Chain A
């Protein structure tokens, strides 16, 4: 009944936790090979499906954890930020980002 914990953090703790979480984010992204533009775009030439595999396994792991934690009442979902839906901006924004992705090798 007490997660998420950020309201209890002091500013220093809050920012330190942010750096720590970012560290693991960057670490696993690099481990997956996402630091290479070539590896990223290989996805769209059907050569290497790492992007799809990494992204969806991460989503599934996090989703299952969140669902279970909120089911048993540990994580209060009303305090968790769920990105709001704006259909047209997100559809068009996605298309633009996807085009930028394949052009720039983001």
Chain B
């Protein structure tokens, strides 16, 4: 018994097999779980919409004023809104308490602790085993495959891996992580909510409860966004959404997305079949899918070993010679730009910094001329160097950051980046000529592609967008004339 030759990894299916599997339904969720899920969804909807409107101190709020006013008007007064928030919250606590009491009996009955010998395991496996003991629920505790899944998933998102994802159980590692977060945060949200609602313990305790309440909700909310996106929008997960209504998924979906769970279901079915056939020791022929599976080459040991460890992941992300996918680098650049606006009240730039370097040199060589030049005199204030400025120091950072990035990826080298048909000399001449135009244009427009197009574009400056469009227009137009030099 239990020695069925089942595959370790999903194997490619034939069209007929896939067709047959997409027709068969397997039960995924118990009706109690589905009811609880939608009850939970309703509660979160109500509590978040009123909670966001309740946070309205002059120092801190998360929703715009029009939203706060709208929700307050809907309930008539802030007191009514608070009362609603508390009543729904208490209902939630009570329903969960009932579920936990009944659910606990089930946990006690199913013995999931067998076979885990904690003291024999290496440290990180000890952690895995401990959390399984802690949660007493095989469905949500993370195992080695899950860690591999998280790593591979991340690398795939940033375009650094095309390996298949390790097989997953009833819930995948992302869902399990979310479950973890929820298990930790929900008791906190409930307890702090009660402390706030009834002013329990002391004024200090209530003040701390407010902070903890917001933090825990914020953490769950960050996961909830992904959860809702995956369930409601992401096309591949459509079945997961409907499984929360019907309880069923197709066998094909289970095979593709929750392979280890599919295997368990399959093994159970085989066991039942044997029982029905009168318990004769040997079973009949294995179903076709299992036969195909046994022929598949197993995942090579080296390959799976190589996938382990943080240094390896770091290498894949930072030290690979290819550039990052444009949207990943773009998001990083966007966050940097956002941070610049929040910290410095202006965007990133380049040409303005160069202007200041030049003015500094001129103010040193010919101070009188620099002070009386109509344009440069703007930068020459008595008693202050034109070099004490954001852009000047930012450019130093740019050089360091660019070098570190290139050095990590092994892209640092001295070369003349030119088209194959032109000499170095031509390239230098073009660079100087193009540079003159670029520099003059940037100063005329009061900014370059960084300082005006990128930074001004992000704050919707009309001039910045005019500038950006004319840059692209001229470059696309000029490309035809320059093709001999680049291609």
Chain A residues in the interface with B (C-beta under 8 A): 1, 3-6, 11, 14-33, 35-39, 41, 43-45, 49-50, 53-63, 65-66, 69, 71-73, 75, 79-87, 89-106
Contacts and interface: CB of A to CB of B under 8 A. Distances in A.
Nearest to B473: A98
Given A27-B332, A85-B464, 18 more contacts: A3-B342, A6-B344, A18-B394, A20-B397, A21-B340, A22-B401, A26-B403, A27-B405, A30-B402, A30-B411, A31-B332, A43-B475, A57-B333, A66-B458, A72-B64, A85-B466, A99-B441, A99-B474
Contact of B440 (A18, A19, A73, A96): A96
Contact of A83 (B335, B348, B452): B452
A55 B328 CA distance: 11
Interface of B: 58-59, 61-64, 323-324, 326-348, 388, 390-406, 411, 417, 430-464, 466-479, 482-483, 486-487
Contacts of A28: 329, 332-333, 336, 401, 405
A60 B446 CA distance: 22
Nearest to B487: A45
B336 A19 contact: no
Closest 5 CB pairs of A and B: A104-B434, A22-B397, A61-B334, A98-B474, A93-B445
Count chain A CB atoms within 10 A of each CB in B323, B326, B459, B482 and give the residue with the most: B326
8 contacts: A27-B404, A28-B333, A62-B458, A81-B345, A92-B470, A93-B441, A93-B445, A105-B434
Contacts of A105: 417, 430-431, 434, 486
Contact of A26 (B342, B402, B461): B402
A79 B344 CA distance: 10
Contacts of B445: 86, 89-90, 92-94, 97
Nearest to A103: B434
B398 A55 contact: no
Contacts of B473: 94-95, 98
B49 to A, nearest CB: 16
A71 B446 CA distance: 28
Contacts of B431: 104-105
B298 to A, nearest CB: 37
Nearest to B475: A98
A89 B403 CA distance: 34
A97 B441 contact: yes
A24 B336 contact: yes
Contact of A100 (B398, B438, B458, B459): B438
A64 to B, nearest CB: 8
A60 B337 CA distance: 11
A95 B474 contact: yes
A43 to B, nearest CB: 8
Contacts of B342: 3-5, 69, 75
Contact of B344 (A17, A43, A63, A66): A17
Count chain B CB atoms within 10 A of each CB in A39, A71, A79, A87 and give the residue with the most: A71
Contacts of B329: 28-29, 31-33, 54
Contacts of A43: 475
A55 B330 contact: yes
B324 A31 contact: yes
Nearest to A50: B326
Contact of A55 (B453, B460, B486): B453
B354 to A, nearest CB: 12
A33 B330 CA distance: 11
A91 to B, nearest CB: 5
Contacts of A91: 466-467, 470
B318 to A, nearest CB: 9
A95 B466 CA distance: 10
Contact of B345 (A16, A58, A79): A79
B388 A11 contact: yes
Contacts of B470: 90-95, 98
A35 B398 CA distance: 11
Given A17-B343, A98-B472, A65 B324 contact: no
